[in-house]
Amino acid sequence: IVAAHNLLGIEEDFLRKEHVENLWSLLNPDGGVLILFEKGRQRGFEAVAGAREMILNRYISTPGSTEYENTTESPDVSRYIAKEPGMIIAPCTNHGPCPLYRIPGPTKGRRDYCHFRQRYYRPDFLQRIKGATERNYEDVEFSYIAVQRGIDLREKYGILQGQEATDAAFAGYEHTTALAPEGNKAGAANEGLTENRPKFHTLSLPRIIYPPLKRKGHVILDVCTPGGEIERWTVPRSFSRQAYKDARKSQWGDLWAL
């Protein structure tokens, strides 16, 4: 289910939550994916972050949080409701509180918020409507969340999470073979991994949440880590030839593995 620009039009917070609950109930419980898009502005981010928080609190089971406390007074409903398997696919690689949404709800003067940019090219009829004669493209900023119901690859493949995943990503996976799904021929390469070389999977990587700062001799990356923190990492030329080369090519929104 792709729900684009659905939440900002709903002013009341409880109605937004009800709308997200309805969308969640329509998902296939065996792997359905819900994608929420909003404008890449402060209010758009807050709407998406609020939906993310509710889905994690009520529906997706995570270590240390496998039940949802039902606060309704109805005696026919159990106080504690078991959550179901599920996971955030993107953009987050952590399942804890959003580090940019420490203060929930609309907040005046919120400067930092998670959003990304995508360029698209206008079709000819839109060029004519806009009366544009030179530039035929636009850069659109958006906030989004993609959540899968009923499947948790973190458990299935033993994917690193939390601070352990952050530390492994900081050290870099340059000399580590990717963790392949079952049945994939590349999976045989994982058998030779030693205990001190953690298995690699994209769901355990930090994501670059701002445009990289590319300076002479080093690149500065602002990343959202699997440990649920915003950190600034510097990749100098001396660290690794491959890492530095990739850092120079990195873009806003990329995952970072080196």
- Alpha carbon of 127 to those of 118, 119, 134, 138, 141: distances in Å? 18, 15, 9, 11, 20
pLDDT above 70 as % of the chain: 88
Q: Is residue 78 scored above 90 in pLDDT?
A: no
* pLDDT of 195 higher than 70: no
Instruction: Kindly indicate the confidence band of residue 196, based on its pLDDT and cuts at 50, 70 and 90.
Output: low
According to DSSP, the residues that pair with 180 across neighbouring strands are none
Q: Which of 67-71, 110-114, 165-169 has the lowest mean pLDDT?
A: 67-71
> Has residue 73 got a pLDDT over 80?
no
| Tokens linked to 230 | 């915003």
Contact 154, 199 (CB under 8 A): no
Tokens of 108: 């005046």
pLDDT of the residue at 161: 86
Q: Residue 116 CB: number of other CB atoms within 10 A?
A: 19
| pLDDT on residue 72 | 62
Answer positive or negative: Cα dihedral of 118, 119, 121, 126.
positive
- Spatial contact of 172 and 258, defined as CB atoms under 8 Å apart: yes
- pLDDT of 75 reads 61
**pLDDT tens, 234-251?**
999 998 898 999 999 999
> 35-58, pLDDT tens digit by residue?
999 999 999 999 999 999 999 988
Read off φ and ψ for residue 68, nearest 5 degrees.
-115, 130
Nearest to 153 by CA among 92, 97, 201: 201
Give yes or no for residue 149 having a pLDDT over 80. yes
Which residue would you say has higher pLDDT here, 42 or 179?
42
pLDDT greater than 80 at residue 143: yes
Reported as a pLDDT band with limits 50, 70 and 90, residue 130 is: confident
pLDDT in tens, 95-116: 889 999 988 888 887 888 999 9
Give all strands (DSSP E) within the chain, no chain letters: 2-4, 33-39, 67-69, 80-82, 86-90, 116-121, 137-149, 207-208, 213-215, 218-224, 230-236
Q: How much is the pTM?
A: 0.81
Read off the pLDDT band of 77 (50, 70, 90): low
